[in-house]
Amino acid sequence: MSPMTDHETERSGPLDEIDRHLVALLVEDGRMSVNELAGRLRVSRATAYARLRRLRDDGVITGFSARVDPARSGLGVTAIVLCSTQQGRWRDLRDELATIPGIEHVFFTTGAFDFVLVVRVADAHELRDVVLEQLQSFPEIRATQTMFALDELRPPGR
């Protein structure tokens, strides 16, 4: 174990190698104990705990969650929906989009479309409701383009 000073565990700012390794370990297994983190990082338990606390306080680590297989949980259809809005009106939709059931991710983008949505639903009927009933009911949305995801690959630990 390498000794660390209080200054090294309390600083804010860019992540160093130990911080990046700690984050990578937690991305791989968010349930990893502080003792196991310390061992894998080759630092003391106190140092691992202090770094974890700092990364959470600084907003680098925003929470812990379970990875769920969408198809096995009843969400067998995944679609990417590209949306264009009236000029400058995307801000009006920002908070409302996140409340629509089935929308898993909202990405605000540059280029021909103003945002990209990842939608996960049980079937094509639910997707139709999200796109035609929910999204296209917003007067700010000019057009949508929907693509079905045929398969999905997640890199290990993500």
Identify whether residues 85 and 139 lie together within a single domain: yes
pLDDT (tens digit per residue) in 88-97: 777 788 888 9
48, 55 Cβ separation under 8 angstroms: no
Quick one: pLDDT band at residue 157, thresholds 50, 70, 90?
Answer: low
Identify whether residues 86 and 129 lie together within a single domain: yes
Task: Give me the domain span that covers residue 136.
Answer: 77-148
Identify whether residues 81 and 123 lie together within a single domain: yes
99, 64 Cβ separation under 8 angstroms: no
120, 104 Cβ separation under 8 angstroms: yes
pLDDT (tens digit per residue) in 34-48: 999 999 999 999 999
Q: Is residue 62 part of a domain?
A: no
How many domains is the chain partitioned into structurally?
Answer: 2
Q: Is residue 1 part of a domain?
A: no
Q: How far apart are CA 104 and CA 149, in angstroms?
A: 14
